Amino acid sequence: MKTPHLFLRFLIGFRHRTIQFVRWNFLVLLTSGLSIFLIQCESKTSEAETHLVPILLATDSNTASQQGNGQGGSLGTEAPIAIEDETKGIPILNEITYFTNNANPADDPYSTKGLLQFQKTSVSFQKPVPGNTEVTLYFGKKNMELHPDGTVTNALESLKRTATNFSGYSYLVDADKKYKVFVVAKNEFGLSTKQLTIGHPRNCADAMKIPATWGNCDDHCITATKVGETVELTANYNLPSQGNSLHLDLVGLSPRSSETIAPAVDLEIPIPNAGLHSTKTSFNIHDKEFLCTKVVSFLIIDQPLRSAILQGYLSIPND
């Protein structure tokens, strides 16, 4: 019976000593507990920041653009804006627009000149390009050549600007002649080119396009057709009755001079029968420096007495 009594006294003494220990060491225990709690909170907060930092960097467009390509890690794979910007930087030219005008009388006292005019909006791109993209216009004739690297040889004149400061340009030319115009846009991402074959028409302003007919083919007419790269001209005369001394001429001339484009032909028949009589000439469209040709047919017959002249302007297709 003594053993339980002694054990009870031990428990009462242990509780008393524990209460005294807590009272004497309360401040120390409180400080230690707060320290452990703060350490745990800092650990959790640090872990949260570790996850937040890369997410913010990957979704920040400015950061992604500044990093560029090939940086590696999450930034290297999360930079679509930088890649898209580079794609948009390639100078893909739209079709070039222009218009023509008569030259200033002070520059053109004999009305033989014209202006090829390019406005500020004449040169544009399918997508935005860097402002320092070079835009160069080259003007020349049939021997001007554009090379794959964007260089041009045999140009008569050139104009170099940038995409931000191109404000247009007017080029003085001989009227009714063909000119080549090369537009070359180039920057660090690549190049784009466009070619025009144009001119300022004066005598050629109302030139007919192939196929064309002048006159009345039941009587006297000229026709123009195209076979491949050859333009064929035909003069026809329908003689109503047998006659004497028929001459039917045909030629293609420069629109501004007596220079021959299609060789002259002359059909001569001393005693022509009634019916259709024809003569033909032709020219190849390659290397022709004029916008059109003046087509002329002259008819004369002694019996029945008749003379007539037909003429018109025919547009020469670009080669």
Q: Which amino acid belongs to residue 84?
A: E
Decide: 171 and 158 in contact? Cβ < 8 Å: no
Q: Which of 135, 189, 138, 139 is nearest to 161 (CA)?
A: 135
Query: In the prediction, which pLDDT does 277 show?
Result: 98
The model's pLDDT over 197-207, given as tens digits with 9 standing for 90+, comes to 999 999 999 99
Structure tokens at 146: 């554009």
pLDDT in tens, 110-153: 999 999 999 999 999 999 999 999 999 999 999 999 999 999 99
| Pairwise CA distance, residues 292 & 312, whole Å | 10
Q: What is the pTM of this model?
A: 0.69
Residue 211 preceded by cis peptide, ω within 30? yes
Model confidence pLDDT, tens digit, residues 266-286: 999 999 999 999 999 999 999
Q: Is 263 exposed, middle or buried (0-12, 13-18, 19+ CB in 10 A)?
A: exposed
Of 38-52, 122-136, 226-240, 277-291, which gets the smallest average pLDDT?
A: 38-52
Is there a contact between 68 and 83 (Cβ–Cβ < 8 Å)? no
> What confidence tier does 236 reach under pLDDT thresholds 50, 70, 90?
very high
Sign of the torsion angle spanned by Cα atoms 258, 259, 262, 263: positive
| Residue 233 pLDDT > 50 | yes
CB atoms closer than 10 angstroms to residue 64: 22
- Indicate if the pLDDT at residue 91 is higher than 80: yes
Q: What is the pLDDT of residue 19?
A: 56
* Span 24-43, average pLDDT: 49
- The CA distance from 305 to 289, in Å, is 39
pLDDT surpassing 80 at residue 84 = no
Average pLDDT over residues 185-196: 95
Is the pLDDT at 189 greater than 50? The verdict is yes
The stretch 71-95 carries a mean pLDDT of 50
User: What pLDDT was estimated at residue 167?
Assistant: 94
pLDDT value for 55: 24
pLDDT the model gives residue 287 = 85
What is the token pair recorded at 281? 């000439």
pLDDT at 297 over 90: yes
CA distances to 29, 79, 129, 220, 256 from 124, in Å:
78, 28, 10, 50, 35
**Can you tell me the mean pLDDT for 73-79?**
28
pLDDT at 51 over 50: no
Q: What is the pLDDT of residue 47?
A: 37
pLDDT value of residue 90: 86
- Model confidence at 73, pLDDT cuts 50, 70, 90, reads very low
